[in-house]
Structure 1
Amino acid sequence: MRFPTISAIAIASVFLFDTVLSATPAEWRGRSIYQVFTDRFAPTDSTTKPSCPSGYGGYCGGTWQGIISKLDYIQGMGFTAIWISPVVEQVADPSRGYHGYSAQDLYSVNTNFGSADDLKALAAALKSRGMYPGLLESCADISTYLMVDVVANHMASDDAAESIDYTIINPFNDKKYFHDICWVTDYNNQTNVELCWLGNDQYPLPDLNTTRTDVRSMFSSWVEYLVSTYSIDGLRVDTVKHVEGPFWSIFNSASGVYNVGEVADGNVPYVCPYQNYMDGVLAYPTYYQATEFFSDTSATSLNFVNEVKAMNSQCKDTTLLGSFSENHDQPRFAYYTSDLVLARNILVFTMLQDGIPIVYQGQEQHFSGAGDPYDREALWTSNYDTSAPLYELTKQMNAIRSLAIAKSSDYLTWHTQIVYSDAHNVAFRKGTSSYMILMVVNNLGEQAENYSVTMPSVGFPAGLTVVDVLSCNNVTVDANGGLAAAFVGGLPMVYYPYFLLPGTGWCGY
């Protein structure tokens, strides 16, 4: 298979206008995010490879300086934002602090990751470079966004639940700021979910009473301090469903930047309303159905298609959701199946569906770890291989998405439409007529024979020549607006108008 080359002009043109730092939700739409699990991304000394066995629960040695040293690796895939693990000081127990979700002091940084100056240096390094390779000189001041993971549901303690020393928790240094001890035991009971604690008696996560006016005020002051001190452009917000909705409106507003929340649930009517309180949420319902469809060659597309339609109809704005197919809390896609063709299909869907695409470190290397903590592999074990098939595909998807944004004023706000589906094939349209992208994906995998699917009407004008930018094959739209898609071994296809490609370097044009 010959993959196309991509010119600097094509992948730079979309950001010619973006020479001033900004981080509103509308401006985040055009970004794509690479999720960095800080402790497992890169050590400060890039010549070393610290031991980090699969499933290890402790610090492996990744740092903010390590991220800086490997920005070229991220840049090579074309990402324009990175999301890093929580940055605040953790409890002393390394098995509970390496991931960042067990905070003890919100106003100090996690010294295992580096100093406050190191974190500022990371923000500065991102803002001093554009993350697309070969940018034109006039684009040299393009900045890359920094997204930081934050937690407002709970703090943590090294003590047992009944003997917590609240005085050392900063700034919530009194028991009065927390709910009384009870444990989350029933996720169908929203009161239990919001008022009770995560963890257990020996490893408690004291649950903050975010209905208190003083707690809300303290969080507002802290998040404003965090964002301004470290030049943060966006927040990924943890455990959103464990806090009452109105709190998030206050928190989101106080931060002054785009917030995307984790509502880890597959129920669309449950997840979508949280967007009434914050800018965006992670598209968990679509994630669950896409994973089921693409990882199982015997599955049919019905549930997957219906879930995409449900998200489109029930979420306030799907273009501000976080689109993902892997993260640090869920088993890797390759855990379910080693089929690389299926991995290609779900990656294409992740990158081109509605919302801001997110790729979790190691996904581009086809890592295959099971659920937490086995999905938190050290990336340095891959030697940061830039020739890996999914690394190259990620680069291509970022580039074609950026080209579509540059060529169409409404691409980012156009909601994805399903224009064709059968048991194993689904075609999605995004964009206006002659300027749209058509992605055609399937779940037949590596064993699929070559076959064709005729789609009666896909949205392109009749007679238009379009190019599958992954295979470089051309096809002409028929008189009725239909298109015959010729699958080769189950590989996905991404069609784009031919007349928009000359000068870009795609497929030699």
Structure 2
Amino acid sequence: MLATLVLSFPDPKSFRKQRIYQVITDRFAGGDDCNNKREYCNGNLKSMAGKLAYIKNLGYTAIWISPTVQQAEGPQMQFTGFWPSDFYKTNPKQGSDQDLKDLVAEAHKLGLLVISDVNYNNVGQCKDGKVSCITTFPLNAYYHANCNITDSQNSTQLEKCRVDGSPDLDQDHPYVLQELLDWTAWYQNEFNFDGFRIGFLKNVGHKFWKALRQVSPWFTIGSVTNASYAELKNYTNQELYTTFNEPLFSAVYETIGWQNKSMHLLSEAFEEAALTFGDNVKDLGIYLDNHDTDRFLSSCDKDSMKFLNGVALQHTWIGIPVLYYGTEQKMHGFSGFANENTEKMWGPNSYNQSSEYYVMIKKLNEMRDKVKIDQINQKELLVTDDFYSYARGNQVLVALTNQGYYKKQQIHHIVPNSPFESNTRICDILSNECLNVNEDESVDIYLTNGQARVYVRESLM
């Protein structure tokens, strides 16, 4: 079997120290004017390879690229890559097989890992409404019956009906199962990927995910939208290696985002994740947005301080930070029909390494390296409706608020039991302001106009 040909890949546990930058290939480098965001803008793999230093300089150690396989030519928006036709060919609109191999090789040369997005749930629609253009799975027998998902809580519908009308693969069919498993091993070997991001988890049964894990022992991270921690745990029990921290995403959106709910929601997410996952909480992906969501800057109504709080949390919370491309350049589009959340990167100053957010995020990533943050635990220090503070080991103290810039408020709290010794000089890496820890090891923290603080010892500045 092809599944026995797997060569080498990083230890999945080593991803705890990684920082992942998500790229939509069609929108990242080398494309055209892109007036219609629902169509291809012709970003390509070769141009992306030329921009890897930009990602590395920002402080990321891995890139997550959108699906690479050839797409069906039906009515959907193909540029995101989730409607395959031939699993064994690279999408020619984005480059050749060799372009993809060159991209991975160049990334590895720079010390960057490469995670590819893969889809096991469905194929694309053909122009004739059949499966005539689907090379890898050309027979009707390979698919579930044609039905639509009308109840997102109905597991049978999720697993056996169609997402956006796309033919739904029947993973219980012996040929489909074996072909997907064989392709998985071939794909990893052929292009030397370091891991996979996998979507549509709820749309495929647990039996398949367990079979997949047997042939893909590398780093796999899955998206399970609106899932509880208990549901996420089910998908990491002999199935995927890890998932994204979905309840935390929701809590950040509801607190620091536009809803301004109590910061106790963050506390609840932290406690439940720790109880559910134990030490494996360090493997969960921490994201603010992606191709399926509104960009965070839009979800917090373009409030620069709310944005700062979200990004500070993303890079200091226990887990693996995953940044959506363009966040560092203030991209702020909404999701939905117009795909405003998939802006093009190219244009004047698009890769500006001196921009405000680029410099700030780079500082956060440098701090993660200096304190070896992947090796230290997280401890809650103080929570109120508008304030949340936590520590990472004895190295970092974080203070956040949901108040934003426009309320023009100053919040003051004496945070007890800081991770620092009395009289230690500590500095906020975001503002470069410093103070001394109190005799009782508490810290007087002032947040003005929605500030966030990330304190480290002055010696680390």
Fold in common (TM above 0.5): yes
1:297 shift after superposition: 7.3
Unaligned runs of 5+ in 1: 1-20, 44-48, 130-142, 406-410
Q: Is the 8 A contact 1:467 1:473 kept in 2?
A: yes
Is 1:472–2:429 an aligned residue pair? no
In structure 1, distance between residues paired with 2:377 and 2:187: 33
Residue 450 (structure 2) pairs with residue 490 (structure 1): yes
Q: State the superposition RMSD in angstroms.
A: 2.0
Would you say the 8 A contact 1:51–1:60 is kept in 2?
yes
Cα shift at 1:94: 7.3
- Of the three residues 10, 19, 34, the one matched with 1:52 is 34
- 1:226-265 to structure 2, matched below 5 A, reads 226-265=187-226
Partners of 1:210 and 1:440 in 2: CA distance: 47
Q: 2:308 aligns with which of 307, 322, 344?
A: 344
- The structural deviation recorded for 1:353 is 0.9
Could you tell me which residue of structure 2 aligns to residue 146 of structure 1? 114
Select which of 41, 48, 71 maps to 1:67: 48
Q: Amino acid of the residue matched to residue 145 of structure 1?
A: L
Most deviating of 87-96 and 102-111: 87-96
- 1:96 positional shift: 2.8
Q: 2:142 aligns with which of 177, 184, 195?
A: 177
Residue 275 of structure 1, CA deviation: 1.8
Name the structure 1 match of 2:363. Answer: 396
Distance 1:197 1:415, change over 3 A: farther
The CA distance in 1 between the partners of 2:185 and 2:422, in whole Å, is 52
Once the 2 structures are TM-superposed, how far is the Cα of residue 312 of structure 1 from its aligned partner? 2.2
Supply the distance in 2 between the matched residues of 1:66 and 1:106 (Cα, whole angstroms): 23
Matches within 5 A, 1:360-371: 360-371=324-335
Offset at residue 364 of structure 1 (A): 1.1
Q: Is the 8 A contact 1:57 1:94 kept in 2?
A: no
Native 8 Å contact 1:340 1:446 kept in 2: yes
Residue in 2 that maps onto 1:268 = 229
1:7 equivalent in structure 2 = none
Q: Tell which deviates more after alignment, 458-467 or 312-321.
A: 458-467
CA distance in 2, matches of 1:291, 1:385: 27
Shift in Å, 1:257 = 1.7
CA–CA distance in structure 1, aligned partners of residues 432 and 214 of structure 2: 46
Contact 1:184–1:197 (CA under 8 A) maintained in structure 2? yes
* Residue 413 (structure 1) shift: 4.6
Aligned-partner SS, 1:206: coil
Is residue 397 of structure 2 the alignment partner of residue 438 of structure 1? yes
Question: Are 2:340 and 1:358 aligned?
Answer: no
Within a 5 Å distance, the mapping from 1:279-294 to structure 2 comes to 279-294=241-256
Q: Distance in 1 between matches of 2:380 and 2:175?
A: 47
Contact 2:74/2:125 (<8 A) preserved: no
* TM superposition score normalised by structure 2: 0.92
How many corresponding residue pairs? 447
AA matched with 1:380: W
Deviation string 1:126-153 (CA, Å, 9 cap, x unpaired) is 1111xxxxxxxxxxxxx21001000001
Deviations along 1:170-219, whole A, 9 cap, x unmatched? 3222222221222111111112111211113xxxx211122334322211
In structure 2, list runs of 5 or more residues that go unmatched: 1-7
Other-structure match for 1:217: 178
Contact kept in structure 2, 1:312 and 1:415, CA below 8 Å: no
* 1:99, distance to aligned residue in structure 2 (A): 0.9
Q: Which position in structure 2 is the counterpart of 1:18? A: none
TM-score (norm 1): 0.83
> Aligned pair in 2 of structure 1 residues 177, 292: CA closer, same or farther (>3 Å)?
same
Shift of 1:270: 2.6
Question: Could you say which residue in structure 2 is the equivalent of 1:107?
Answer: 88
Aligned to 1:10: none
Contact 2:27 2:42 in 1 (8 A): yes
The equivalent of 1:417 in structure 2 is: 379
1:304 is the counterpart of 2:271: no
CA 1:94/1:175 → structure 2, altered by over 3 Å: closer, same or farther? closer
- Using a 3 Å threshold, how does the CA distance of structure 1 residues 424 and 297 change in structure 2: closer, same or farther? farther
Secondary structure, aligned partner of 2:359: helix
Task: Tell me the equivalent position of 2:441.
Answer: 481
**1:493 Cα deviation from its structure 2 partner:** 1.0
**Which whole-Å CA distance do the structure 2 matches of 1:335 and 1:155 have between them?**
31
Distance 1:476 1:383 in 2: 39
Instruction: State the secondary structure of the residue aligned to 1:341.
Output: helix
After superposition, the Cα gap between the structure-2 partners of 1:118 and 1:210, relative to the gap in structure 1 and judged at 3 Å, is same
- What are the within-5 Å matches in structure 2 for residues 192-211 of structure 1? 192-200=157-165, 205-211=166-172
Percent sequence identity over aligned pairs: 25
Distance (whole Å) between structure 1 residues aligned to residue 353 and residue 434 of structure 2: 28
Which structure's relative contact order is higher, taking Cα pairs within 8 Å and 6+ residues apart?
1
The CA distance in 2 between the partners of 1:235 and 1:374, in whole Å, is: 26
Secondary structure of residue in 1 paired with 2:64: strand
- Deviations along 1:430-476, one digit per CA (max 9) or x if unpaired, are 22x3xx22211112222333442111223333443322222233333
